[in-house]
Amino acid sequence: MDWQKLYSHRKRIEKTFGDLWNLPVATRYHKVVAGEGGTGTRLLEVGAGDRSFENKMAGYWGSVVYASCDIDPTYPHEFHHIDEVTGEYDLICAFEMIEHVTLDDAAHVIQRMYDLLKPGGAVILTTPNIYYPPAFMRDVTHMTPFCYDELGGLLSLTGFHVTSIHRLYHDSLIKKLIRRYLMYPLFRAIGIDFAKQIIVVARKPETV
């Protein structure tokens, strides 16, 4: 990996989207995903777990052509390693997966996603927000913390155009009032955020 190029793309993302506090807040990851597809979308989920995401998106779109990839054999999947995946997809999603691998492996996974997408297709990734430390630190299987600009920079370096970055936060009304408004000035002063995850959307160019 060319570290200088990665740093350059990271700074480009920061310049485009501002710092963390400039990122808009979305309540649910699947609402963000819903805006990136429609009826008949060919969707690949990497790190799919119990495959429940298929039904969730069918609820939005009516129908979805879904395939899953996961190294865990607990549930049936079409693919068990990213290098086994075949086909061409409109949308590839990976939720809370990328932080479980090394930086080099993350770069490889993102390159494979790029190769598997149709021109104009989108990739959507979520990862713990490093400005909310418990989200990353509470899981011993987490390997690589990604700041929003680092993940966006890695996508950009691969050839993607990053179209949006949101912080993800959903809570009860009283907790929202406390964390987003009452305590927010203190959180910002000490560099701690209330949002537990970030979600990044990026597109493969129409012509490559």
Candidates 55, 1, 23, 46; CA nearest to 164 is 23
Segment 5-31 shows an average pLDDT of 94
CATH: 3.20.20.110, 3.40.50.150, 3.40.640.10, 3.40.50.300. Which one for 3-203? Answer: 3.40.50.150
Number of neighbouring beta carbons within 10 Å of residue 166: 22
What are the Cα distances from residue 37, in Å, to 45, 57, 117, 185?
13, 9, 13, 37
Q: What is the pLDDT of residue 39?
A: 95
Residue 35 pLDDT exceeds 90? yes
**Percent of all residues in the chain with a pLDDT value above 90, rounded to a whole number:** 80
pLDDT tens digits, 136-157: 888 888 999 999 999 999 999 9
